């Protein structure tokens, strides 16, 4: 999954990330701070975030692994003279409580119980 330069810049500057999963009763949105996303970064098309809680999110992903993340920054130059861009990142996610990703996250964030791992399938810029 190749990220274009504008998307990389938004990842560098987004203050937070919204994370949406689905349940029988509807969508469920949680969040992560952007600096936590940047700590591990996006590796081989996979986003890794520290799971402190994300309990409902974990339950949702067990039944339906589809996940959407939103990142945005008003500071990124979109086109000549215009600022602001955001991306909807769609993919499949799970909470991993052990294994390489969980170890990586716990080394950086000792409070984490595991890793939220999202494999990217699609990235769309939301402002034209
Ligand atoms: C800006 C922001 C950053 C957050 N960062 C994290 C985080 O890195 N890890 C985490 O587990 N929860 C984080 N939270 C809390 C979650 O969004 C969520 O409320 C909590 O984990 C409960 O998840 P659940 O509703 O899926 O059980 C953050 C919340 C906000 C508003």
Domains in the chain with CATH codes: 5-125 (2.30.110.10)
Which ligand 1 atom sits nearest the alpha carbon of residue 60?
26
pLDDT over 70 for what percent of the chain?
Answer: 99
Dist CA 61 CA 7 (whole Å): 25
120 CA from centroid of ligand 1 (Å): 20
64: Cβ contacts below 8 Å, ≥ 6 apart: 21, 22, 23
21 CA from centroid of ligand 1 (Å): 13
Nearest-CA residue for ligand 1 atom 24 is: 54
Which is it for the CA torsion 112, 1, 21, 72, positive or negative? positive
Q: Of 77-81, 84-88, 90-94, give the lowest mean pLDDT range.
A: 77-81
95: Cβ contacts below 8 Å, ≥ 6 apart: 51, 54, 57, 58, 61, 114, 115, 116, 117
Q: Residue 36, Cβ neighbours under 10 Å: how many?
A: 18
Which ligand 1 atom sits nearest the alpha carbon of residue 31?
17
Prediction pTM value: 0.96
Residue ranges of E strands in 24-81: 26-33, 42-43, 46-51, 66-79
1 CA from centroid of ligand 1 (Å): 26
| 111 touches 49 (CB < 8 A) | no
Q: What is the pLDDT of residues 58-82, one digit of tens each?
A: 999 999 999 999 999 999 999 888 9
Which residues form the pocket of ligand 1, taking CB atoms under 6 Å from any ligand atom?
16, 30-33, 36, 49-57
29 CA from centroid of ligand 1 (Å): 9
Which ligand 1 atom sits nearest the alpha carbon of residue 15?
1
Please give the angle made by the CA atoms of 110, 97 and 50, to the nearest 5 degrees.
45
Q: What is the pLDDT of residues 4-59, one digit of tens each?
A: 999 999 999 999 999 999 999 999 999 999 999 999 989 889 999 999 999 999 99
Q: What's the mean pLDDT in 98-106?
A: 97
């Amino acid at each position: 999954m190749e990220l274009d330069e504008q998307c990389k810049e938004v990842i560098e500057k987004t203050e937070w990330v919204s994370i949406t999963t689905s349940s029988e009763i509807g969508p469920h949105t949680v969040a992560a701070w952007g600096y936590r996303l940047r700590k591990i970064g996006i590796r081989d098309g996979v986003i890794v975030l520290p799971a402190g809680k994300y309990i409902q999110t974990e339950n949702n992903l067990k039944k339906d692994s589809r996940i959407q993340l939103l990142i945005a920054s008003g500071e990124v130059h979109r086109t000549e003279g215009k600022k602001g861009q955001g991306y909807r990142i769609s993919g499949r996610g799970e909470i991993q409580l052990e294994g390489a990703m969980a170890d990586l996250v716990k080394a950086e964030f000792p409070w984490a119980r595991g890793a939220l791992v999202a494999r990217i399938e699609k990235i769309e810029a939301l402002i034209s």
